[in-house]
Structure 1
Amino acid sequence: MRKILFMLMCMLISIPTIANAHTELSYSNPKEGEMVTEELDEIVLDFAGAIEELSTMKLMKDGEEVSLSQVQVQDKKMVGTPSAPLENGSYIIDWTIAGEDGHPISGKVSFSVQIEDMHEEKEAAQPKAANKENEQQDKREVEKENPTSSNPVTTIITVLLFVILGLGLVLLFRKKRK
């Protein structure tokens, strides 16, 4: 009986660790919601743990994929290089990685590009308000589509299920002893 209780306690203690072992995005350049005002030479995604070579990223603008000349994976980092200078507008970095634990994880980072030149200065007053609205809309859509990878509700539910299972086993063994 003590062995069973010990095993149940070990399982309960290890569950939160297992549930939160996923590698998550720790830094990006550009950052979520950032307004880029200078030419962007590379897109950098830095993760909390090492990622596999199979990890990928796509750059999207208005639902269309923007060409990246290369995407490199180096330990915890993924770097994408745009094929051409990015036009003004709203972008989404759509990434998928395989972390150290082997689980596929995906997410999105939205940002905007607003590089002004002499011809655009006259038109800049109106598009800025429209871009702000588009950014906010894109951010809301990304938040709906991209739940966080470490969900505390899932962890709590899992722990509760194991507690209930453990109590059921304890009661079952007590009945068999009598």
Structure 2
Amino acid sequence: MKKILFMLMCMFICIPTIANAHTELTSSNPKEGQMVTEELDEIVLDFAGSIEELSTMKLMKDGEEVSLSQVQVQDKKMVGSPSAPLENGSYIIDWTIAGEDGHPISGKVSFTVQIKQMQEEKEEAQPKAANKENEQQDKGEVQKENQTSSNSVTTIITVILLVVLCLGVALMFRKKRK
């Protein structure tokens, strides 16, 4: 019985470590929902843990990919450089990484470019742009909620599997004693 209690105690101590094993986005430049008012030379995504070289990012505007001259993975960072100055409008950084644990994780960061030189041309369309910006922010919040829900489901499944495994081991030990 002491062995079973010891095993269960060890399991519950290990669960927080297992549940947080997935790498997540900790910060970005530009930030989610940010309005960029100066030329953007690079896009930087920072993650909680090291990411693999297979990790990628795409920059999207109005459903079309915007060319990045290069995307580099540097330990916990992914850096992309736009090929040309970004035009005013709404953008989405669509990223996919492979974390240290090998699980693929993806997400999106939306932001808006509104550089003053181009702002005069778009003043008439500003109410429409404001509505699009609000829609992009709402989409970003939904995507964050979906990613959090996915992590929660993974954690719950992991806990259930560990409990079942421990109970199976405990039953095996119990049968051997008899």
| TM range, smaller chain | 0.7 to 0.9
Q: Residue 22 of structure 1 contacts residue 99 of structure 1 at CA under 8 Å; is this kept in 2?
A: yes
Q: Residue 28 of structure 2 contacts residue 46 of structure 2 at CA under 8 Å; is this kept in 1?
A: yes
CA distance in 1, matches of 2:41, 2:154: 39
Structure 2 unpaired stretches of 5+: none
The amino acid that maps onto 1:4 is: I
Q: Which has the higher helix share?
A: 2
Q: 1:122 to 1:43 in 2, by over 3 A?
A: closer
Q: TM-score scaled to structure 2, two decimals?
A: 0.82
TM superposition shift of 1:114: 0.8
CA distance in 1, matches of 2:94, 2:85: 19
The amino acid that maps onto 2:120 is: E
- 1:80 alignment counterpart: 80
Equivalent residues in 2 for 1:92-107 (5 A)?
A: 92-107=92-107
Count of aligned residue pairs for this structure pair: 176
- Which runs of 4 or more aligned residues in structure 1 lie more than 6 Å from their structure 2 counterparts after TM superposition? 167-178
> 1:50-81 CA deviation, whole Å, 9 max, x = no partner?
11111110000111111001001111111101
Task: State the SS of the aligned residue for 2:91.
Answer: strand
- 2:9 alignment counterpart: 9
Q: Residue 87 of structure 2 contacts residue 113 of structure 2 at CA under 8 Å; is this kept in 1?
A: yes
Q: 1:172 to 1:37 in 2, by over 3 A?
A: same
Q: Residue 12 of structure 1 contacts residue 163 of structure 1 at CA under 8 Å; is this kept in 2?
A: no
Structure 1 unpaired stretches of 5+: none
- 1:134 alignment counterpart: 132
Q: TM-score scaled to structure 1, two decimals?
A: 0.82
Q: Residue 93 of structure 2 contacts residue 109 of structure 2 at CA under 8 Å; is this kept in 1?
A: yes
Q: 1:102 to 1:79 in 2, by over 3 A?
A: same
TM superposition shift of 1:164: 7.1
Task: State the SS of the aligned residue for 2:85.
Answer: coil
